[in-house]
Every structure is written in structure tokens, then in C-alpha cells.
């Protein structure tokens, strides 16, 4: 095949002239009827066979091509009277206002016109916006009352939407308008921004209407055998009908009023044909009452031609279903229901080496898994393998060079996606694991990048069809290659929830296992190599510690020190000697000190995981994550883990102390208010007295809440030390779920409720609720919730809480829509930017935007949390090598 | 404000601007393998361009302080307004 290559030098837009419309037209459409009684299209009707073919088997009367090959041909309607094109109505109004009513010259002296012409020409040459210059001309010419060329007095032109023009209160017919536009000289038109080669002003008033080919407006045949026409056809029928009546009336010499009425009706139909959402006129409706979808509606908006069919389209080889978790598959895998695997196919070319294997698949056919759905011949024709007969035929034919579209099988690579696709980790490549059930199964560690949970979320899966795409997906898009986020240079994939609390309990000092227990855990976690390793290790009086077992998964030469999430941030850190076991020390692949928690392998935070990916590669990291999560899940399932309201039980003593603190805070607030009332309060710099008072009160109350939270935590800790498991607290401190603030609110005190960052002040005049005295600005009256969620809120507290809660809900709703739009615009602006091989960032024209990406040329995903060089890491590496 | 003129180049937020000599400019273009039209632009009416008396077609080197890389050089070509 010969290939011709041409570069597009430019695109020019113009307006179709009546001559052009007639020239490209193959048929003059005159009758509003489409088909005769026998169901054959009428010549001169809207379905004229010259306009192209849609029915298979027939040949086009114009070009002779079959349906599908014939692109369709335009026809035309000769309008009995001209009508305004709505799309240009505003533009026409502007021109009418600046040209003379008599001579159609621009109402400016000749020199001025010449000057504007020159400026527009110039602007066009250097690619500057000419609109500004035309605006200037418009502003200068619209005020002129007497024409400088012929001296005619000028009337006042008013534009009434959508298509009416008034001169001194008298209606101008489209014929009048067209006449004026026709008289504009070519030179003047240029000054108005027209390129007269392709667009004369009078082209904006239609005398001939192009009729789009039938391929643009195909009729559908309903099940009942009835034909249902496209909206555009309906609209064109209306136009022809009125046009015909108008023509007849004019020829019969009907009174002016009747003609004008029909003319206006014609204008209405032509207007709605172009755009059925024009302001000021009722939209044309279908018999059923649904507004018609005309030309502008086909293009506009999210579902329009541009956004819906050109920028984005529907695809084949994709599946969508509900997702559910499976901790036993690798993070790289996705569980695919057999039903889906039977429907999605992968094309495989037949070679001498795989022909026997593929023959088996073809023999199984479309219904038996694993089989194949199609056999494609070298000429591109396909045999569908859904019937025994066709399978037989395909089997007989099958030869080298054929392509078998076989079912999706284990190990195939597919793309997996969850909307909204906000970052590149929203689409990742997974390996298929076909399994029973009707949901897609995914490993829990990949929930964070997809932002998925299992409350009914659905996800999409795309079967890759080409070798290049398959290679790219495998090399670049696999889940394990996306562990490090380019957003902050740390892992975005990692343990969540039970993984974290499990690991925390597993690696705590007290956790020990008998040999049998340890082996059982490792077996459940499928860590067979580690079993051998463990058996070689010494046990302490028959027990293996959690840390010891955990160490089995660590690379043997790993050295690492960091502060765990459970760290209490003491003033002087004792490092290895931390009494809370919060300082992690890993020496030569052995976990010596410290517990594993969110900071070890949690998503967004895992230091240990981060080090493994960066120093040992993604294969090791995937293996680590798969094993560690299976291990701790096995452990925590066996051990048991729960939470309940009794996790927030506090001893009487604690409750008293909390109450004391809160009461004292309330008194203190009262004191400050008194000081304020007596004028003793000193305003803070840059604040009014009232603002100062509010700030003081907020500060006192938030301190009180924090303090009560601390007390609650203190007692909960004490209880735990006595050996009672407190799930809620473990989750909070290890970073598995929830925070200490959540605990505080449940056990001690909910705290100040706020609307717009202030204490609650709206409601009745001078007070928030009728339960309080007017002018009361104490803690209680302004939304301080002293109770805890567990003890329950008083009615007023509950109301304030609902106010604050409502604001939160509204905020999130508003934020998502706003940030969504912001992201769309950002992406539109940045989509062509690319880092070139010389490290410069360039746009689609290769114009440089940045000389070095990020000013340091670093890939953020390969940095240590954004830092190009991690000095601490380098030093530690050197020291550990020496020691 | 009256007559008192402020030297904007002394302001802490204004980075250093240097006009490149012909040779330096050619060297830069060669190194980046581009023509002048592919460089970022700066208007001749920019106060700093006026101050260092650069003319349209000149290339300006801007020495910026960068939080990630310490010093970062940016190059812009001066263009006339019309």
C-alpha cells in the first residue's frame, strides 16, 4: 500500500454561499412526504434515494456505492423567502448597527475604514486577536447619526432575540436585512473582519437550506415494523411544509398579513432546526412532548459529539462489576468471574507451535471455558464459535496465520480502573485469576490508590488486544510498579486497617508463639521457604517471638532505623531504649527493636516498605506485601480482634477528673466574659475586642477538650496495661483506623461545634436557641458539647452538633464539584506537556516550558518523600557497613 | 507616591536578570537544539527588561533561587509588543 503524507498547513472556516449549497446539492427537496404507500422513498422527498443509502444491499443513486461505503450526499430546500440563521443573529445585529441604512457603508470616514482594514490585516498576520480591533470599530461607528458617505439620517436599530430586528420600532424583514448586507462593499466587509473569499455578510441570511444526507439522520425500524424518523427529519418536514404553504400563498397573491405570518413560522422552524434551545422561543416538541434534538443539541455538552464521541468513546473488550476483597491473591492480580472471562477475549495468532493448543480452545467453543469466541481468517472475516456447526467448520479450517480470539485466562494482563480516574494509579495493570463468583476480587493493599471500598463499588476491566499495549502494561502499569506515588515519593500501596493493627499486635514484645503455632501461621500465609528458615533458628525456651517471625520476610542485609507511629514524641528520645518499643531498629534483616505499625508498611506512610521498594526493587516489595499481609491477617484472625463501646469505658475517677476540667474551663470562659464586660480585656494586636474574646474562649475550650482526651487516654492505657485488650485504642495508636481525637470524642468530650470556623451564633435574635437567655455568650449557649458520644448529648448539644455536621456535609458536596471542575481545566491546560530526553519540559509545539523538570530534574516517585538526596539514609548506610 | 523611584532589581522577590551576549545566546540555542521561537518569552515592556536595557531578540538569563535545586537558570527571549 502506498502512503501519502501531507501536513495540514491550516484550517479555514467560512460560511456556505447559496451557490455553494446548490452546487453540492444532489437533489432539490420539495415534498414533505418521505415514503409512498409501498414503503419506497419518494423522489424529491426527504428520503430521496439520491441522498445516499442506509439500507444494506441497495446502491446509492448518486455514487453507486453500497451502504456503509457511500458517505451520503446533501440535498437542498429552496426557501420561498429568506430567513435569518440564528447562529449569526447577534453578528448581523452588530453589523446592522454600524452600517448606513441607505448606502450600506460603514458609518465612518473613508480614512478610518482603511486604517481599520490595515490593522486587522496586520493582526491576522502575527496571529493576534482581531476581535479587539473590530470591537473598537463597532464602538466608534454605532453612535454615528448621519452617514459620512451619503449623508442619510440613521435610524436606531434594536435587536430582539432571537431573530427580529427593529429600526425605529419598525420590523425589518429578513429580505430587508439581506439587501443591506448584500450592498456592503468587499473593502468594508474586510474592515468588519470578513474574509470575503469564503464568507460574504449576506451568507448569514439563508435563501437555500442544505439538507443533510440520510446517513446523518437514519430512521429506525421499530419492532412493530413501523418506521421512526430522526428528529432532524421531523424538523425538515416542518420546514418543507411551511415553505410550500408560503410559496403557494405568495403565488396566489394572498394578503400581506398571511404571508408575514407564514414567513415568521418558517423562521421559527429554521431557527429550531439549528438550535432548539434558543432563549426567547418555545422549543419544538415531538408528538410525545419531548423537545427535539436538533443540530446544536447534537454537538453540545457532555453527551454531545465532541465530548461524548470524539474526546471519549465507548469501548469493546471491557467488563464492569461489583468489587470485593480477597486477601489471598497477590496485589498484582485481579479475580475475574468465569462469566466475564468467557465474554472477554484475547487475540492469538496461530503458529506451528501453538496450533494444537489453540485447536483445543476452538474445540471447546464459546460456551465451555477455557475456549474461544471467534476464529479470524487472514482476510479478516470471522467465524463465531457459538454453535457446534460453526465450531466444526472453524476446526477444519484452522491453520497457521489465523487468529483465535480465545477466552481470558489466568496470567493474562488486563487494565483495571475505578472512577473517578484522578491520578495515574486509577488505572493499573493486573494479572487475571479466573474464579467462581460474580465479582471482581482485588487485594486489599490496592484499595488506597483506587480509593475503593466494598460498600457496592464497581470497577471496570479492559482486556488488552495488542502486543505493544500488552508489553507496555506489563512493563509500566503493573500494580507493583505503582507502589511509589509520584505525588510524594513514598508508597501509596500498602497495608490498611487490620494489616496494621495485626502487625502491631504481632510484633509487640509480649507476642510469642509455640513452634506449632508459628508453623501453622507461616503455612496459612503460604510462606514455605520461611518455614525452613524458622526451623533453623533458635527458639527461646520453645517460643518464637513475633519479631523473630516477622524478620523472616525481611531482606537479609536490610538495615533501618526510624520512629514508629506509636512514638509518644518524648522530649529526649531514648532511641533503642524506648520504653514503649516505638523506635524501630532493623539490623541485617532482623527486627531487633520496635513494633510494626502504619509507619512500617501502611499505605501513604510505610517507611520499611518504602526502603524495600527503593533498595530491593518492586518484585521484592510485592512479595513482601503479599506475605506480610497474609501473615498478619492469619495471625489476627486466630487471635481475634474487636471493638465495642466498652472500649470507651472509663473508671469513675477518670470521669470525675474530666468533668472537673470541663467545669473549670466553663468557669474560666465565664471569667473572661466578665472581664470583657467590665472592659478589662486587652485586645490582641490587629484584632477587635470581640474577636479577642472569641479567640480566648475557643482556645480555653479546645485546651479543655484536649486535656480531657489526654486523661481518658491515660486511663485507657492503664486498663490495657492490666491486660485487657482495647481494640479502639490499638487501632488509633497504630494508625490502623481512627485517631485519638475520635477516641476523645467518644470517651470524654465532643468539644466545640462550629459553623464557618466560628462558635455557633445563628438562630434567634441575641441567642442561638430559646433555651438560653438573650446575650448569653457562655460555652454552653454557643455550641460547646461537654458530653461524650458515649454518655450522650443533651438536646441543645445535639442540635448544635447537627448544625456543625450539616456544614461538613455541604462543604464536601461543594468541594468535590469545584475541585472536579478545577482538575478538568488543569488537565486541559497541561495535557500536552512532556519531559523530553534532555530533561526539558516542552509543549506540543516543542516550545520549552521549563529547562529542567521540577528545577532539579528529579522524578518525584524516585525521591525520598520529595528530597532528592536523603542524607540520613546515606550516613546510616556508611555506618552500618563499618559496624 | 510622587517622584521617589524604587529600584525594583533590589527587591527580594525579583531574581537577577542578565542579558546574554551573542556567543552565549548561540551556545545556549545550540545546547538545547532549538530556535529562539521555542524559548519562553518576555515582553520588552517588562520593567526588568527595560532596566537591563535588553532589546527584542535578546535572550535573558534569569537566576532564580529554587527550593529543590538551589540555583535554577531560566532563559527567556525578549519580544516586542506588536
And the C-alpha cell for A565?
507511629
Residue B69 domain flag: yes
**Sign of the CA dihedral A588, A594, A596, A602?**
negative
Instruction: Share the mean pLDDT of chain A.
Output: 89
The closest CB to that of B40, out of A126, A848, A857, belongs to A848
Helix axes A689-721, A652-677, angle to 10 degrees: 170
- Provide the pLDDT for residue A723: 75
pLDDT at A125 exceeding the cut of 60: yes
pLDDT at A879 exceeding the cut of 60: yes
Residues of chain A that touch chain B, judged by Cβ-Cβ distance less than 8 Å: 122, 126, 128, 838, 840, 842, 845-849, 851-852, 854-858, 868
Residue B24 domain flag: yes
Preceding peptide of A527 cis, ω within 30°: no
- The last residue of one of the domains, among A422, A456, A482, is A482
For residues A535 and A581, membership in a common domain is answered with yes
Answer whether B39 touches A (CB < 8 Å): yes
A vs B, Cβ pairs < 8 A, gives 40
Q: Which CATH number goes with the domain that contains A445?
A: 2.40.40.20
Q: Tell me the pLDDT band of B82, cut-offs 50, 70 and 90.
A: low
Q: pLDDT tens for residues A135-179?
A: 888 888 888 888 888 888 888 888 888 888 988 888 888 998 999
For residues A629 and A603, membership in a common domain is answered with yes
For A142-230, where are the alpha helices, taking DSSP H only? 174-183, 186-191
Residue B5 domain flag: no
Residue A108 domain flag: yes
Rounded-to-integer distance, Cα A704 and Cα A707, Å? 5
Q: What ipTM did this prediction achieve?
A: 0.91
Rounded-to-integer distance, Cα A732 and Cα A714, Å? 14
Q: pLDDT tens for residues A329-385?
A: 999 999 999 999 999 999 999 999 999 999 999 999 999 989 999 999 999 899 999
Rounded-to-integer distance, Cα A628 and Cα A635, Å? 10
- Provide the pLDDT for residue A61: 81
- The last residue of one of the domains, among A623, A639, A655, is A639
Q: Which residue, among A62, A69, A81, A67, has the nearest Cα to A24 in the 3D structure?
A: A62
- How many domains does chain B divide into? 1
pLDDT at B7 exceeding the cut of 80: yes
Distance from CA of A94 to the nearest CA of B (A): 27
Closest B-chain CA to A846: B38
Residues in chain B within 8 Å Cβ distance of A855 = 64, 66, 68-69, 72
Answer whether B66 touches A (CB < 8 Å): yes
Closest B-chain CA to A866: B68
Q: Which residue, among A726, A705, A704, has the nearest Cα to A716 in the 3D structure?
A: A726
Only one residue has cell 474487636, namely A642
For residues A799 and A749, membership in a common domain is answered with yes
Residue B3 domain flag: no
* Residues constituting chain A: 883
Q: Tell me the pLDDT band of B2, cut-offs 50, 70 and 90.
A: low
Ranges A51-65, A94-108, A499-513, most confident:
A499-513
Per-residue HEC secondary structure of A721-732 comes to HCCCCCHHHHHH
Q: Which of B68, B69, B72, B75 should be substituted to probe chain A, the one whose Cβ sees the most A Cβ atoms within 10 Å?
A: B68
Cα torsion A477, A481, A485, A489 to 10°: value is: -140
- Provide the pLDDT for residue A882: 63
Helix (H) or strand (E) holding A75: strand A75-84
Residue B74 domain flag: yes
Distance from CA of B37 to the nearest CA of A (A): 8
- How many domains does chain A divide into? 5
- The last residue of one of the domains, among A614, A639, A664, is A639
CB A563 within 8 A of CB A582: yes
State the CB neighbour count (10 A cutoff) for residue A430: 27
Q: pLDDT tens for residues A251-264?
A: 988 888 888 989 99
Mean pLDDT of A454-464: 96
- Provide the pLDDT for residue A112: 85
Mean pLDDT of A121-127: 79
Rounded-to-integer distance, Cα A228 and Cα A771, Å? 67
Q: pLDDT tens for residues A271-305?
A: 999 998 888 888 888 888 888 889 999 998 888 89
Answer whether B71 touches A (CB < 8 Å): no
For residues A768 and A842, membership in a common domain is answered with no
Q: Do B40 and A847 touch (CB under 8 A)?
A: yes
If DSSP codes are grouped into helix, strand and coil, which group holds residue A532? helix
The closest CB to that of A848, out of B39, B64, B73, belongs to B39
- Provide the pLDDT for residue A311: 84
For residues A510 and A617, membership in a common domain is answered with yes
Q: Is A695 left (phi over 0), alpha (psi -120 to 50) or beta?
A: alpha
Residue B30 domain flag: yes
For residues A453 and A344, membership in a common domain is answered with yes
Q: Which CATH number goes with the domain that contains B65?
A: 3.90.940.20
Q: Which residues contact A770 (CB under 8 A, 6 or more apart)?
A: A764
- Provide the pLDDT for residue A14: 92
For residues A608 and A662, membership in a common domain is answered with no
Beta-bridge partners for B65? B71
Residue A71 domain flag: no
Helix axes A528-536, A515-524, angle to 10 degrees: 160
Distance from CA of B77 to the nearest CA of A (A): 11
Q: Do B39 and A847 touch (CB under 8 A)?
A: yes
Helix axes A355-364, A388-397, angle to 10 degrees: 170
C-alpha A268, offset from chain centre: 39
Rounded-to-integer distance, Cα A370 and Cα A341, Å? 8
Q: Which residue, among A521, A511, A522, has the nearest Cα to A547 in the 3D structure?
A: A511
Answer whether B69 touches A (CB < 8 Å): yes
Q: Do A848 and B68 touch (CB under 8 A)?
A: no
Only one residue has cell 443539541, namely A297
Distance from CA of A15 to the nearest CA of B (A): 30
- Provide the pLDDT for residue A867: 82
Q: pLDDT tens for residues A811-831?
A: 999 988 898 889 889 988 999
And the C-alpha cell for A20?
455553494
Q: Do B40 and A838 touch (CB under 8 A)?
A: no
Domain span at B49? 12-79
> Percent of chain A beyond pLDDT 90?
47
Domain span at A471? 318-482
- Provide the pLDDT for residue A663: 92
For residues A387 and A520, membership in a common domain is answered with no
Residue B2 domain flag: no
Q: pLDDT tens for residues A574-628?
A: 888 888 888 999 988 899 999 999 999 998 888 899 999 999 999 999 999 999 9
Residue B1 domain flag: no
Residue A738 domain flag: yes
Closest A-chain CA to B71: A855
Q: pLDDT tens for residues A13-28?
A: 999 999 999 999 988 8
Rounded-to-integer distance, Cα A848 and Cα A851, Å? 7
Buried b (16+ CB within 10 A) or exposed e, A829-854: eeeeeebeeeebebeeeeebebbbbb
C-alpha A348, offset from chain centre: 34
Closest A-chain CA to B64: A855
Answer whether B80 touches A (CB < 8 Å): no
Amino acid at each position: 500500500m502506498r502512503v501519502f503524507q501531507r501536513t495540514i498547513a491550516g484550517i479555514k472556516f467560512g460560511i456556505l454561499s447559496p451557490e455553494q449549497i446548490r452546487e453540492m446539492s444532489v437533489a432539490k427537496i420539495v415534498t414533505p412526504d418521505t415514503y409512498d404507500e409501498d414503503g419506497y422513498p419518494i423522489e424529491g422527498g426527504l428520503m430521496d434515494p439520491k441522498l445516499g443509502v442506509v439500507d444494506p444491499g441497495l446502491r446509492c443513486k448518486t455514487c453507486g456505492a453500497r451502504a456503509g461505503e457511500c458517505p451520503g450526499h446533501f440535498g437542498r430546500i429552496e426557501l420561498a423567502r429568506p430567513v435569518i440563521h440564528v447562529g449569526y443573529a447577534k453578528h448581523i445585529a452588530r453589523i446592522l448597527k454600524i452600517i448606513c441604512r441607505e448606502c450600506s457603508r460603514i458609518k465612518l470616514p473613508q480614512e478610518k475604514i482603511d486604517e481599520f482594514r490595515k490593522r486587522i490585516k496586520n493582526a491576522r498576520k502575527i496571529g493576534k486577536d482581531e476581535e479587539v480591533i473590530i470591537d473598537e470599530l463597532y464602538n466608534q461607528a454605532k453612535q454615528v447619526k448621519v452617514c459620512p458617505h451619503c449623508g442619510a439620517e440613521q435610524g436606531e436599530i434594536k435587536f430582539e432575540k432571537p431573530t427580529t430586528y427593529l429600526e425605529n420600532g419598525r420590523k425589518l424583514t429578513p429580505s430587508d436585512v439581506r439587501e443591506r448586507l448584500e450592498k456592503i462593499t468587499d473593502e468594508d466587509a474586510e474592515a468588519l473582519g470578513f474574509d470575503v473569499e469564503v464568507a460574504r455578510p449576506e451568507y448569514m441570511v439563508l435563501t437555500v437550506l442544505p439538507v443533510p444526507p440520510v446517513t446523518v439522520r437514519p430512521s429506525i425500524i421499530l419492532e412493530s415494523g413501523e418506521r421512526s424518523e430522526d428528529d432532524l427529519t421531523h424538523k425538515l418536514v416542518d420546514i418543507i411544509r411551511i415553505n410550500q404553504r408560503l410559496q403557494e400563498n405568495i403565488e396566489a397573491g394572498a394578503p400581506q398579513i398571511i404571508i408575514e405570518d407564514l414567513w415568521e413560522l418558517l423562521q421559527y422552524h429554521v431557527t429550531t432546526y439549528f438550535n432548539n434551545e434558543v432563549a426567547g422561543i418555545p422549543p419544538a416538541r415531538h408528538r410525545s412532548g419531548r423537545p427535539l434534538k436538533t443540530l446544536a443539541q447534537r454537538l453540545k455538552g457532555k453527551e454531545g459529539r465532541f465530548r461524548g464521541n470524539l474526546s471519549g468513546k465507548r469501548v469493546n473488550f471491557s467488563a464492569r462489576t461489583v468489587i470485593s476483597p480477597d486477601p489471598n491473591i497477590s496485589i498484582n492480580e485481579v479475580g475475574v468471574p468465569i462469566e466475564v472471562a468467557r465474554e472477554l477475549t484475547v487475540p492469538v495468532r496461530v503458529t506451528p507451535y501453538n496450533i494444537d493448543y489453540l485447536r483445543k480452545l476452538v474445540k471447546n467453543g464459546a460456551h465451555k471455558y477455557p475456549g474461544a469466541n471467534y476464529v479470524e481468517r487472514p482476510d479478516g472475516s470471522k467465524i463465531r464459535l457459538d454453535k457446534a456447526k460453526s465450531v466444526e467448520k472453524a476446526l477444519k479450517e484452522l491453520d497457521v496465520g489465523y487468529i483465535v480470539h480465545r477466552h481470558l485466562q489466568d496470567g493474562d494482563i488486563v487494565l483495571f480502573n475505578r472512577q473517578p480516574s484522578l491520578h495515574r494509579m486509577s488505572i493499573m495493570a493486573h494479572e487475571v485469576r479466573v474464579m467462581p463468583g460474580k465479582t471482581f476480587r482485588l487485594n486489599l493493599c490496592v484499595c488506597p490508590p483506587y480509593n475503593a471500598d466494598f460498600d457496592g463499588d464497581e470497577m471496570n476491566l479492559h482486556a488488552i488486544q495488542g502486543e505493544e499495549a500488552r508489553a507496555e502494561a506489563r512493563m509500566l502499569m503493573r500494580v507493583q510498579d505503582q507502589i511509589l506515588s509520584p505525588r510524594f515519593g513514598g508508597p501509596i500501596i500498602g497495608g490498611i486497617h487490620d494489616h496494621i493493627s495485626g502487625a502491631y499486635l504481632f510484633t509487640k514484645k509480649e507476642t510469642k508463639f509455640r513452634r506449632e503455632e508459628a508453623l501453622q501461621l507461616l503455612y496459612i500465609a503460604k510462606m514455605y521457604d520461611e518455614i525452613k528458615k524458622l526451623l533453623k533458628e533458635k527458639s527461646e525456651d520453645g517460643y518464637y517471638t513475633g519479631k523473630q517471625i516477622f524478620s523472616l520476610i525481611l531482606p537479609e542485609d536490610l538495615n533501618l532505623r526510624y520512629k514508629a507511629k506509636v512514638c509518644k514524641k518524648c522530649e529526649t528520645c531514648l532511641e533503642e531504649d524506648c520504653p514503649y518499643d516505638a523506635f524501630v531498629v532493623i539490623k541485617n534483616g532482623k527486627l531487633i527493636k520496635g513494633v510494626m505499625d502504619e509507619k512500617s508498611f501502611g499505605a501513604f506512610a510505610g517507611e520499611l516498605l518504602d526502603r524495600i521498594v527503593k533498595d530491593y526493587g518492586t518484585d521484592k516489595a510485592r512479595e513482601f506485601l503479599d506475605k506480610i499481609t497474609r501473615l498478619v491477617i492469619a495471625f489476627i484472625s486466630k487471635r481475634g480482634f474487636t471493638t465495642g463501646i466498652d472500649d470507651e469505658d472509663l473508671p469513675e475517677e477518670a470521669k470525675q477528673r474530666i468533668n472537673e476540667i470541663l467545669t473549670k474551663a466553663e468557669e474560666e470562659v465565664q471569667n473572661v466574659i466578665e472581664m470583657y464586660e467590665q472592659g478589662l480585656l486587652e485586645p490582641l494586636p490587629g484584632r477587635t475586642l470581640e474577636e479577642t474574646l472569641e479567640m480566648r474562649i475557643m482556645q480555653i475550650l479546645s485546651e479543655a477538650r484536649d486535656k480531657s482526651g489526654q486523661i481518658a487516654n491515660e486511663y485507657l492505657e492503664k486498663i490495657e496495661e492490666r491486660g485487657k485488650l482495647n481494640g479502639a485504642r490499638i487501632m488509633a495508636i497504630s494508625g490502623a483506623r481512627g485517631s485519638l481525637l475520635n477516641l476523645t470524642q467518644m470517651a470524654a468530650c465532643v468539644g466545640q461545634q462550629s459553623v464557618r470556623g466560628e462558635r455557633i451564633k445563628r438562630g434567634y435574635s441575641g441567642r442561638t436557641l430559646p433555651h438560653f437567655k438573650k446575650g448569653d455568650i457562655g460555652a454552653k449557649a454557643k455550641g460547646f458539647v461537654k458530653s461524650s458520644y458515649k454518655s450522650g448529648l443533651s438536646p441543645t448539644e445535639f442540635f448544635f452538633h447537627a448544625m456543625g455536621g450539616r456544614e461538613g456535609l455541604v462543604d464536601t458536596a461543594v468541594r468535590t464539584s469545584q475541585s472536579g471542575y478545577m482538575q478538568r481545566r488543569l488537565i486541559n491546560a497541561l495535557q500536552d506537556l512532556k519531559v523530553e530526553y534532555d530533561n526539558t519540559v516542552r509543549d506540543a509545539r516543542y516550545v520549552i516550558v521549563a529547562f529542567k523538570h521540577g528545577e532539579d530534574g528529579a522524578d518525584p516517585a524516585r525521591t525520598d518523600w520529595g528530597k532528592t538526596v536523603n542524607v540520613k539514609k546515606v550516613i546510616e548506610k556508611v555506618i552500618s557497613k563499618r559496624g | 507616591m510622587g517622584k521617589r523611584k524604587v529600584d525594583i532589581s533590589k527587591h527580594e522577590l525579583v531574581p537577577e536578570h542578565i542579558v546574554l551576549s551573542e556567543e552565549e545566546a548561540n551556545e545556549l540555542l545550540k545546547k538545547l537544539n532549538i530556535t529562539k521561537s521555542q524559548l519562553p518569552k518576555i515582553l520588552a515592556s517588562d520593567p526588568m527588561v527595560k532596566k537591563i536595557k535588553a532589546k527584542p531578540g535578546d535572550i535573558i538569563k534569569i537566576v532564580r533561587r529554587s527550593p529543590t535545586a538551589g540555583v535554577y537558570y531560566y532563559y527567556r527571549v525578549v519580544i516586542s509588543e506588536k
